[in-house]
Structure 1
């Protein structure tokens, strides 16, 4: 057997992902040593409660509640605790002690990423975080390394499995939001408090990370426009299906303007995607990220966006990379966030829309609606009218627009609602994926 150098690995957290990482580190230690060029010794697993029930049959002697002592002397620290504190403190301690760190903590990176990357840069350590966005899908390395010599123009992705599961079942089965959410919670796809998923917080954190990498610009979480899916109902899904679309919660990161005056937009919202687009065929709890680059063209990354063993795969890939770096020596590769492109407000984004309104069914209404849209610099591409009320006194208009400025569209919809002919604005959905 090859006599490899031994590297001490400290694991913080033993939840669904952490327990799988520990299991695989122990089970495949020989293979991992051959790939990494070093023996990866699991020095211990820090947890809050030694007696909490856990998946897998892990040796009890590995567990400790003393994370700080475990970090001391570790070559690689894997943080899978989640949350901001004490994860932030432990990561900074690990970095300052000379360890490389591996994390799947999207919330921490989205809020304190610059601080953590800065600390690593100061001591020549490296931060690995492939599992922080889109689970098992390899997207961080392609953006950070493979496409580093290209200009990424746009990222459009389904990066939250819970919301994709909900919207997919609403589309394919005609189910109601509340019923599918309850099923998702029962199956473990959604938490008892699903706010982070259904209100778009989880997707916004991942969008901030992806945009920072793609555009070499620090993207604060508060700069990400966020909308959730709680307003999506069966009627909206039926209308989307009838028009040839499917509703998906999308993270959109986009480069705007020309090279002389560039900016970026980062946003998360439910949008209509044409059924011919690759993202429309992403079903269940899967994730997919569609990347458009100047030279490479269109690229798509697809797979499991969550799950203990799936996410553990991405974590262990990072561990092997960190081990190889330790063996090779030298300083870590810092984050490239020197472009400092301005981040624009959602109002300056241009896209297409589908507006659904209920109006009085009487002569002159269509002319008023069309005039209001025209005055607001919003051009009609398609228009469909159906009877909305049982007494035929109300009609429903589904208006597809050409590309329009978000600010113009928003102001125009407000004028439509106050026009005297519109009874109710049913929905306004953006159309993405042209």
Structure 2
């Protein structure tokens, strides 16, 4: 049965994602009505400029530059926000909720910076706030964490959540290219922006990691809580060193539960790391994303697919829109923020990890013992060590056992002060057991 009530939708933004949302709303209106149980009417599209070129033709009369006026209309049932950034997106979402509209957003930066304000506004208004498209594009990962795994105890989320960096690192691994060369190719193909800072320095992935950790561990985590390192310092030598130990370098978002003294805390970090080629994430190629979830009852789960792009992201937006529209018709709400656990965020220095360290050393007797002593003084156990080259090309490559990041950082600092160490040429974290 199709309800006589028509649900009116306002879209904020008509760029790559917004234009595809508009296209799907117009092309699939009959199917959407059948799935929702009520007609869906596109009531307006807010843009910066009326005369800008767009990927889709928007019907005359729907475009407006008055976004505030659009979301403040009393007849708007659902608002889709795909502007991005902090402002004016935050003010527009709050205005939409205050005026009785439910909201679907893809705004990872805003959610990671000020999600609690939005969730509290949604609760006060009695409306939905859905945001599946904020992380990993078309991949359904947030809803499984929020709903499907709500009865489980998630212990770890490990993911490749930025397609630009994955494309660059994949090209460096498969072709031997350096970072700048791989970045240039990514820009030529449209995978990287003209200013790639948000991607290559890990800001984008850190925002997504904060959202994933908040959902997985029922605690408020912001982007400021996430330890962040990008890939701009990764060299072809690092990629080759990973290959030597049967590993590949990926920019990982890692969210973990740590237990000490009977209390659990949350550790969240984004950085390049070596992972074994046998790990499922190692086979994620090009600009694809994947998220690996570990929980006590379900075990290990992996979610894979296109993590960006107009149409894939719009698919996630429309999925949320259908759910929120159904809730409006039935007079119900979906799950809101779950932050009951209120776990503390563990400082990076206390996080357990492993290091791969390449050290240029003097080729003489006793050097290996001195290096081993530096590790021992900081209570770091060595898993493997090998020597490469002779004379001026002598190098030691050490892979540690698990220790705190502070212990490992202190070890590297000690190595750099040793007379027999010419240079510590590479330091990279290792995840999983490399072969």
TM-score by length of 2: 0.97
Give the CA deviation at 1:244: 0.3
- Which residue does the alignment assign to 2:53? 53
- Which residue does the alignment assign to 2:30? 30
Give the CA deviation at 1:63: 0.8
The C-alpha deviation readout for 1:182-215, integer Å capped at 9, x for no partner, is: 1111111111110000000000000000000000
Q: Is the 8 A contact 2:211 2:222 kept in 1?
A: no
Give the CA deviation at 1:260: 2.5
- Which residue does the alignment assign to 1:310? 312
Task: Give me the whole-angstrom Cα distance separating, in 1, the residues matched to 2:387 and 2:305.
Answer: 39
For structure 1, which segment, 259-268 or 24-33, has the greater mean C-alpha deviation from structure 2 after superposition? 259-268
Q: Which runs of 5+ in 1 are unaligned?
A: none
- Which residue does the alignment assign to 2:419? 420
In the alignment, structure 1 residue 66 sits paired with structure 2 residue 62: no
Over the aligned positions, Cα root-mean-square deviation in angstroms equals 1.2
Aligned pairs for 1:277-316 within 5 A: 277-316=279-318
**Counterparts in 2 of 1:407 and 1:279: CA distance versus 1, 3 Å:** same
Q: Which runs of 5+ in 2 are unaligned?
A: none
- Which residue does the alignment assign to 2:247? 245
Q: Is the 8 A contact 2:257 2:266 kept in 1?
A: yes
- Which residue does the alignment assign to 1:159? 161
SS, match of residue 345 in structure 2: coil
- Which residue does the alignment assign to 1:402? 401
In the alignment, structure 1 residue 108 sits paired with structure 2 residue 110: yes
SS, match of residue 322 in structure 1: helix
Give the CA deviation at 1:383: 1.1
Task: Give me the whole-angstrom Cα distance separating, in 1, the residues matched to 2:2 and 2:301.
Answer: 40
SS, match of residue 61 in structure 1: coil
Q: Is the 8 A contact 2:7 2:325 kept in 1?
A: yes
**Counterparts in 2 of 1:306 and 1:331: CA distance versus 1, 3 Å:** closer
TM-score by length of 1: 0.97
**Counterparts in 2 of 1:405 and 1:258: CA distance versus 1, 3 Å:** closer
SS, match of residue 70 in structure 1: helix
Q: Is the 8 A contact 1:124 1:332 kept in 2?
A: no
**Counterparts in 2 of 1:421 and 1:381: CA distance versus 1, 3 Å:** same
SS, match of residue 14 in structure 2: coil
Task: Give me the whole-angstrom Cα distance separating, in 2, the residues matched to 1:338 and 1:362.
Answer: 58
Aligned pairs for 1:226-237 within 5 A: 226-237=228-239
Give the CA deviation at 1:4: 4.1
Give the CA deviation at 1:415: 0.4
Task: Give me the whole-angstrom Cα distance separating, in 2, the residues matched to 1:70 and 1:303.
Answer: 34
In the alignment, structure 1 residue 171 sits paired with structure 2 residue 170: no
The C-alpha deviation readout for 1:22-81, integer Å capped at 9, x for no partner, is: 001000000011011111100010000011111022223221111122211210000000
Task: Give me the whole-angstrom Cα distance separating, in 2, the residues matched to 1:421 and 1:258.
Answer: 38
Aligned pairs for 1:11-410 within 5 A: 11-71=11-71, 72=73, 73-257=75-259, 260-387=262-389, 392-410=391-409
